Amino acid sequence: MLSEFVLAAPSVSTITPVTTFSHGLSATVSGAGFGVKQPVAPIQSDYITNQSAYISTPNGGSVPVGAGYVWNRKMQSVNGGDVFFRTDDPRGKQAVVYTNEWSGDARTGAFTDFDRKNVCGDKMYLSWWMKPYGDLKNAAISNKLTRLVWDIDDRSDRNYVEYVWNPFGFGGFSGDIDSGAEKGISFNPNDSSNIFAYLWWEDFGVYNAWNRQEVVLDNSHPSPNITLYPYATSINIWTNNAKFFPSTQYPTWVDAPVFRGSLYPICNLGSIGADFSNTPPEEQPIVDFVDIYWDNTVARVEICNNQIKNDATHCEIQTPHTTWSDGTLQITINQGLFVDGATAYLFVMNADGSINSTTANSTVTFSGGSSDIIAPSAPGGLNVM
């Protein structure tokens, strides 16, 4: 687990290697105030070609799931659903992405991971990149991009809390313990009604382009209304590194939208991708997605295009491996959409959410190098195991 004492702000003294800072290679970051992350690896870091479970990733090949693979299951709508590999439209150095394009009328193409209860905690961090080929706001309310779920096993016991991010915004509902009925969640801590709540009209970034989405849920705060709710869950959300919730346009309540089910720990990624259902086919856009990073801590490493992280418009998350001590950590370099020769700035965030100030010691230049290696193309809809 992470250190429980208050951490000093991180500082970076050296990054090696410097002359061969290339996609897919390992780098060591030295400094202070990183904290101790254990386990070092996140729950999931998936940009496809970093996964040894995939023997091949042909264009149009159906993504295998289940035991021994990256994801447990795929979401299914009444009209079916599938997730496919795409290699004809890479995301920068990431040569393979996921897509729902060949899922037929359903256009459901998402993964679900309900069965990782060993990762329960009071925080969840989720980052992923998404490229929508159509206006998501034209889609119906049942089209979802992700579900973040509290302590359930496939919703079978109807005792759960679930946050949903869909084209209309970010909302929540719960399974009632007594009646088994689904009820909405009010985000006002002084409201005990069961109204299905949405916090804003969504802005997904730029269509026909790659956009990074991030969510942080924190269930560790005392509730402002302890009588109604034992805990408050704060929600923070970013698109393309711009924080749009909480904001002056979409304010939160006492830094914590609250719901009555917050006794439950945060455990599962209910879905990620194009979790679409009961929408007319003409309203179902193609969505590519990749670089899914999921953890139960905010401690992470990012490389951004600005010396001040909050002013950056482009950041790439890095995958830690092997070592994360207070003074040393290792990452697998993820160049993503940065071009060869680009100068960027490395940020270490510790478990408290503090980050380093940038100096010459935390500046990197991508030296070039190969993109991810991909398999030959295959006809759309081919099952690849």
Q: Is residue 372 part of a domain?
A: no
pLDDT score for 150: 64
The enclosing domain of 211 has a CATH number of 2.60.120
pLDDT band at residue 379 using 50, 70 and 90 as cut-offs: very low
As a residue count, the chain comes to: 385
Task: Please state the rounded mean pLDDT for residues 169-190.
Answer: 52
Average pLDDT across the chain, whole number: 78
pLDDT score for 363: 95
> Between these two residues, 72 and 150, which has the higher pLDDT value?
72
The encoded tokens of residue 359 equal 């100096």
Based on the fold, state whether residues 270 and 308 are members of the same structural domain: no
pTM of the complete model: 0.86
- Under 8 Å CB-to-CB from 192, ≥6 apart: which residues? 186, 228, 260
CA separation, residue 150 to residues 71, 112, 172, 323, 368 (Å): 18, 14, 11, 29, 42
Based on the fold, state whether residues 210 and 128 are members of the same structural domain: yes
How many whole angstroms separate alpha carbon 145 and alpha carbon 112? 11
For residue 27, give its domain range.
Answer: 11-39+300-365
How many whole angstroms separate alpha carbon 102 and alpha carbon 221? 43
Based on the fold, state whether residues 33 and 66 are members of the same structural domain: no
Sign of CA dihedral 63, 106, 295, 331: positive
Based on the fold, state whether residues 22 and 147 are members of the same structural domain: no
Task: Please state the rounded mean pLDDT for residues 194-216.
Answer: 71
Q: Is residue 341 part of a domain?
A: yes
Which of 233, 262, 295 is where one domain is finished? 295
Hey, is 119 helix, strand or coil?
Answer: helix
57-61, 270-274, 306-310 — which is least confidently predicted?
Answer: 270-274
